A and B are shown apart, each in its own frame.
Chain A
Amino acid sequence: MNKPNIVIVHGAICGGCDVALANSEEAISKILENLDLAYWSVAVDSRLSDLKSLGKIDVAVFMGGVRTSEDEELAKWLREKSKILVAFGSCSAYGGIPGLAALTSPIELINLVKSTITTSSQYKSIIELPKLPELSTYRALPHVVNVDIVVPGCPPPIKVVNEFVNVLLKYIAGEEPIGPLVIAGSKAQCETCPRKPKDLSKLQIPSIKRIYEAKIEENRCFLEQGILCLGPVTREGCEHSCINVNMPCTGCFGPLPGFEDVGLRYIAGILALVAVEREKELMEQGLAKILDKLVDRLGVLYRYTLPRSRLYMLKLSLEGSEYAR
């Protein structure tokens, strides 16, 4: 068989990306038609040893973040062996939801597990724990190795998966990969958002509300209603699956080209607009109180991108981490 082969490998992942890939009939049938599926532990019967025995790999799709020493080793090995390496899904591309745990050190996590273990002490000596891969500092895949294609989304929507497979087939046909190619638009969500504010140049955010506090009107900009929506700083291309069901964008498509830190950009651009008409009267009695309504700062501003943020890089470099950039 002379088909080029493809391997689909996991790091720290929930499994949603596998479903997203399998769910897209067009994409999966194109993959099976044009490529030899050599390894995909959740879909075909294959072991890690089968993967390691492959001489060459044409396409490697990495899903999930880099959480353990095993993930890191695998990612580096794949970069060495494969022609095209794909970061599939937000965890892989930007860190994703598990990336929120990056601020808790591996040592702290292990201590927590050890201190709250429920097995009574008399059995402690009997139970032999299996040898687990070591927890390492959580990183997104592009932080560990260079990637050729980035497929964002949590999970990537069908349209994006199809687009990705088309790009992939072009590359296989002989086109050279040009840098990390992100399968998403390069404009903000707001450009294509069906909800438009009354006057974009005078966008007003009266206060900050949490979702349960507000009766969210349909067809009206979330920011105007005081709901923090990450649309202004997020790439478009997801067809607004959250916005269409009356939920604000949480930013799974990652930062727009030109900056890496979604949170800082959001503070500079959008949070500075909060209560913009009442600043003078509020300054004395509680402009800060309005901002305090944003309780879960990391969860809102960095839900999918914390391990790629500049503040995280600053933290790593101050810790003297070998992964600092």
Chain B
Amino acid sequence: MNVFLLYRDRDPDLEGEALPHNAEALTQDLGLTNLFDAMAAGDPFLFEVARKTMLASLLDPEAIRYRQDVLADCLANPAVVRRLYAIAVEGVQAQRKIWLFSLKSSSPDSILRQSQQLLRLLVEVLAALRAVADEHASAFRSEGFVRLFDMLARELDDDYLRTVRYELDELEFRRGVLMSAELGRGNKGTRYVLRRTPELRWTDRFARRNRRSLSFEIADRDESGSQALTDLRARGINLVANALGQSADHVRSFFAMLRAQLAFYVGCLNLHERLTGKGEPVAFPTAEAPPSLALSAGGLYDPGLSLRLETRVVGNDLAADGKTLVMVTGANQGGKSTFLRSLGIAYLMMQSGMFVAAQSLRAGICTGLFTHFKREEDEAMESGKLDEELRRMSALADAIRPRSVLLCNESFASTNEREASEIARQVIRAFREAGVRIVFVTHLFDLARSVHRDSDGAALFLRAERREGGRRTFRILPGDPMPTSHGEDSYRRVFGAHAHPMPEAAPT
């Protein structure tokens, strides 16, 4: 029985899908923990599911749409989805009522008894699940939910539940245990298989064999004999106990699967309630298949930042269709990093089938999202910093593919401008030629100016807005790079004199 709520044709690995190698960098650079916290609403399990699902991006627009549809159903029926989730949790946790210690160290006999008890409980949870499905199936429209409810009705019908209850009773072994065997190594009995004891015929055979004395009895005081008999019985029961233990696991892992997949959508419900609760816009994005270079957004904002603030945050519009380089320059503290984060988060949300934190978004799917952010905590070890930056960029180059998106935040700022610009120019050129789309936030004027001068039309230049008087609006608007005159200003303010104008640096 498959759940198929996250993918049309498969259930994800419960241990989590393979995350990209840079999952940790993404989490840190984009500040994703805030977002996962909001999705988790205090539940560590929801947190993990949100984290793993969001970081394991989908690359197929159909797969994205499949999740968007399921999520739309959830947004329309939040109470039913939360109830289904509660039942799944109950199924997963049923064994806590029974197993006080690990089954692994038990005897076949106690594995058998405990699995039997557990399955008796699970059967009732299955019945409850079907009841919810029966009652609410008609309110759901998405392919994922329709399939799931159909399956529950079919696989968990009354006949089936009755059969399960009967077979669990049979394992009480009221007529003793019968097992077959062969001669194994050194003539020891082997391949013990528990057999169904024939109901009527057995008594006849029993009497007949007794006459021929092919039976014996263990004496009451023969303790090693009774132990041996217990061991032998264990050999017979072993396979059945294994089958029953595994069956209990299978049922339980069905609930676990159901829980893990619903957990993602419950997380989305939680986030949705938080954002819309404070009046922030959300929208289902349009994800276009590669090689689309679409990238247009309206009111794009950083949901992680918004969740930390009482008020709504500033959103930005972006029109970067067909651009392979977006270079963002301008004032410090002007919202450049926030803008970069909002874009990165939008890609991750879009490609996990979620709504995005924007009024609208249409974008080409990226085959991989990479971040190269200046790391504040490295500032202490000045000498190794460029090394560290280069090492990170180099590691990233090993993993990056065409149609990946690379978000650079003040890369190479740990060395002087001339050197940093030269390194950055070479890196940018090589990446773009390899089909990587780059959004580069920088205060390196030498870099921005030379890139602008050689611009081929596929580059977009944005600037953090600064109004008259230096007031920042946190808006990122189209604008060519400007020489940073703030330093000049400061100089004048502090020294009260003009700095000697720098000679134009010859671009390399």
State whether these chains interact.
no
Interface, chain B (partner A; CB < 8 A): none
A-to-B contact residues, CB < 8 Å: none
